[in-house]
Structure 1
């Protein structure tokens, strides 16, 4: 491709390529559009570290407290049922299940909009409205109002829950994403864990309405801080920059924008239902969706099951909620696996070997057996099989550290695998997984108590342990066949292609 020229009313002809280079832009391989250069300072991956830290830290904090508000619903339901004269299952359905079902719908409807229209506005709108929903539930003494607000809050929770992965992919390359996705996963999992702890202690000190007042205050504060983050969707930033230049130089080619939707019908057809396409057409996404859904549903099962188990050991209601801290401790040990990932990453880079998404599946290979071991251990060291002083409470509690470690590994590694494999479509791919996860997490609390009372805690946990044992088959399958499956995927292969066209080195993907 040779030099092209342009002219303005005030200037003679200049080489267009030199003009683009001055603005850290260049022609795409097709020669008909403009893309970033690798060192463009306005590209999100070249932002200053303080900017990256503020933006990602804040949206991870938003995800943490939005997630906490979902698991807090179980304790609130247990108290609100007396005020609204509901049975236990129906109250759980109103305050927990409807939130998660709303989240599942939001996982499909909302995140694709960020790929076409940007992320910042969605963060601000979702968090602001979530704050209002919590406040309404606290102030209004009406069950229908509480139901509507929990559904809307669940719908809105899909925004931080799914598009954070897309924001991380916008801002960080593969090596940095090892840690950033880990911190995001830890934040999300801590949200699941602190929800029952916070709500139990708030209810004990005040009442169940204060659970929602406090979350409204926290989320409202985060909403104000979100106004100071930047838009990170690369294609939108590039289009905006080139459009500004085209106002002065109309002959300048347009930006390379793979997110462009010529009309609403095209957007609905291609973008709005993209998560559904990924779920049912991509074997990797479908398998990950099933694994993460079952694994993360354990937290919602434990919000119902741990309290009676530990009360049988002599704990109070608020004391039994503190057992979730053992799961939280397990998440911290995942930092050791991330160090191992970095060692593998650096070793391959030093050897001049291209980094593949499968190179970061070590945590999955370790975490899947740990989940099975932790659940088998827990299931056979709790009442009624083990009574009184035969085994102290710390023995089953230690097994929950393994469970917490495993849940974080499955969550961070599998979401990271999605981000590395589907790149520009990572938000929609994550939405597909989150859809199934929301449905599963919303359903299990409705039969958890009946399951544990009918089968007994030992048998009920053993069933979960048996399912977790099946997960151990997946790591070797992904390690052996993952690359072939990705190469045959039109979404994964196209995503890598457009990243190359946008001016990103494959080694930095």
Structure 2
């Protein structure tokens, strides 16, 4: 005789199938397909505030610390170019290939596993670089850590899209980008001061320790890919004997060929054929790469001012970029106003309505770069060092604002496959960033800080035209894009709001 309260397998099978489906936060639509109930507590959009806050904080910190962790660029009795290639270029090369391969995989196997694996790999190889006294370990280790660091760089966008609707994403994406850009600015300071107090190995020892702690925190993060959660729920219903569990699975990969197409071929095709991705990638890569160019050129510029700067103290100039990064929160007020007006008119806000900040950032970058370029030696010998330092504020604003607006535009344009839309962006941006220190090392000594800086500022002037291209032609390009159109159609099959 069974004890009271014990439910038999037969009783489970005899239960009302629709009740079993509803108990798991799902519903059967009129066309017979299983989908999410709008009020399901298990859908990431409906998670508690505390759960979302914990998960996003851990994930965003990974993106903040990745650029900080690659700040050591010394020294096996090799030349400057060899050191740049080993410590910076190899890292960015690994990040380029990681950014190309991991986004689609995160959509096929979920978000949590790539975070865990990449964090563990990053920590282990940072430890190896610091303890194995051989240059080949640096080359291999920097490539592997770069590959691992690409996971938060490209998958975070997908996690944010999983958990937050369009109104909430406005703030989450800017926090994410601000953290990433701030980490890039703090990196040279972090590395330089550790090198001045300890040895270069301790840059990697500290990175290994901090990312190990991050790994422990990631164990508490939940899977946020809705299709992965749905798959688990349907497996439970299948065990309970519920029949006709057909559902729309945009991540379905029936064979290896399809997996390769989604993880490799499709991102490459996206980069080569999608005008939106091509434009966003080009602008984002060059603007982001400017900070990498500064890592090589900025300390020498400040040392040349004869104001008592050393190699260590000159790195503090990077901190002037951070107030500009914080200014990126102001254009979000305009975004909120535009969104509110669209809601009052009963209209859905288009992605092009959220890039006014880009229209401000492009001229700010050109002005900031030109301001800095012509207030430093040799053209300006007697100008106080605070004058060019102030020019770094609009540069910091512009770099972060471009990263934010362009990232948000890709998320809103490609929706369900936001992480895959970042493949081309991540690949090219990482390669350009890896080359920028090499460019600076050759260009600034040959042309001088004033002429070399003017060349960089001219690229920013060209970017001033780009926002108006998006305003005028963005909607048309999205409507003609089969990838963006399919993403929207797939997402609209879910009753959970955008």
| Interval of TM-score (by shorter of Structure 1 and Structure 2) | over 0.9
Secondary structure in 2 matching 1:399: helix
Match of 2:345 among 348, 351, 359: 351
Q: Distance in 2 between matches of 1:160 and 1:341?
A: 26
Q: Distance in 2 between matches of 1:63 and 1:334?
A: 18
Secondary structure in 1 matching 2:465: helix
Following superposition, the deviation at residue 253 of structure 1 comes to 1.4
CA deviations over 1:212-258 (Å, ceiling 9, x no partner): 11111111111111000000001110111111111112413133211
Following superposition, the deviation at residue 111 of structure 1 comes to 1.9
The match for 1:464 is 456
The match for 1:156 is 148
Match of 1:482 among 474, 483, 494: 474
> Which runs of 4 or more aligned residues in structure 1 lie more than 4 Å from their structure 2 counterparts after TM superposition?
8-19
The match for 1:321 is 315
Q: Distance in 2 between matches of 1:277 and 1:105?
A: 15
Secondary structure in 2 matching 1:333: helix
The 3 A distance-change label for structure 1 pair 346 and 142 is same
Q: Distance in 2 between matches of 1:10 and 1:46?
A: 31
The 3 A distance-change label for structure 1 pair 14 and 247 is closer
1:56 aligns with 2:56: yes
Q: Distance in 1 between matches of 2:13 and 2:34?
A: 22
Q: Tell me, yes or no, if the aligned pair for 1:28 and 1:256 is still in contact at 8 Å.
A: no
Following superposition, the deviation at residue 209 of structure 1 comes to 1.0
Once the two structures are superposed, the pairs formed by residues 18-167 of structure 1 within 5 Å of their partners are 19-28=20-29, 31-70=31-70, 72=71, 76-77=72-73, 79-80=74-75, 84-167=76-159
Q: Tell me, yes or no, if the aligned pair for 1:108 and 1:273 is still in contact at 8 Å.
A: no
CA deviations over 1:289-338 (Å, ceiling 9, x no partner): 00010001011100000001000112111111111111111101111111
Q: Distance in 2 between matches of 1:11 and 1:323?
A: 66
The 3 A distance-change label for structure 1 pair 11 and 400 is closer
Q: Tell me, yes or no, if the aligned pair for 1:239 and 1:255 is still in contact at 8 Å.
A: no
The match for 1:5 is none
Q: Tell me, yes or no, if the aligned pair for 1:378 and 1:396 is still in contact at 8 Å.
A: yes
Following superposition, the deviation at residue 349 of structure 1 comes to 1.1
Once the two structures are superposed, the pairs formed by residues 244-393 of structure 1 within 5 Å of their partners are 244-313=236-305, 314=307, 315-387=309-381, 390-393=382-385
In angstroms, what is the RMSD of aligned CA positions? 1.6
Once the two structures are superposed, the pairs formed by residues 135-214 of structure 1 within 5 Å of their partners are 135-214=127-206
Match of 2:209 among 217, 220, 223: 217
**TM-score (norm. length: structure 2):** 0.95
Secondary structure in 1 matching 2:238: helix
CA deviations over 1:164-209 (Å, ceiling 9, x no partner): 0000000000000000000000010011011100000000111111
Following superposition, the deviation at residue 17 of structure 1 comes to 4.7
Q: Tell me, yes or no, if the aligned pair for 1:63 and 1:160 is still in contact at 8 Å.
A: yes
Q: Distance in 2 between matches of 1:57 and 1:270?
A: 29
Q: Tell me, yes or no, if the aligned pair for 2:20 and 2:237 is still in contact at 8 Å.
A: no
The 3 A distance-change label for structure 1 pair 16 and 245 is closer
The match for 1:3 is none
Of residues 263-272 and 490-499 in structure 1, the stretch that sits farther from structure 2 once superposed is 263-272
1:421 aligns with 2:397: no
Q: Distance in 2 between matches of 1:271 and 1:207?
A: 40
Q: Distance in 1 between matches of 2:15 and 2:215?
A: 46
Q: Tell me, yes or no, if the aligned pair for 2:358 and 2:405 is still in contact at 8 Å.
A: yes
Secondary structure in 2 matching 1:504: coil
Q: How many residues of Structure 1 are paired with residues of Structure 2 in the alignment?
A: 488
Q: Distance in 1 between matches of 2:287 and 2:236?
A: 47
Q: Distance in 2 between matches of 1:236 and 1:26?
A: 17
The match for 1:231 is 223
CA deviations over 1:128-179 (Å, ceiling 9, x no partner): 1101111111111000111111111111111011000000000000000000
Q: Tell me, yes or no, if the aligned pair for 2:101 and 2:263 is still in contact at 8 Å.
A: no
Q: Distance in 2 between matches of 1:15 and 1:473?
A: 61
Q: Tell me, yes or no, if the aligned pair for 1:368 and 1:471 is still in contact at 8 Å.
A: yes
The match for 2:4 is none
Q: Distance in 1 between matches of 2:482 and 2:496?
A: 19
1:395 aligns with 2:396: no
Secondary structure in 2 matching 1:110: helix
| Structure 2 unpaired stretches of 5+ | 1-8
Following superposition, the deviation at residue 13 of structure 1 comes to 7.6
Q: Tell me, yes or no, if the aligned pair for 2:33 and 2:246 is still in contact at 8 Å.
A: yes
CA deviations over 1:343-399 (Å, ceiling 9, x no partner): 221222122221111111111111111011111111111111000xx3111111111
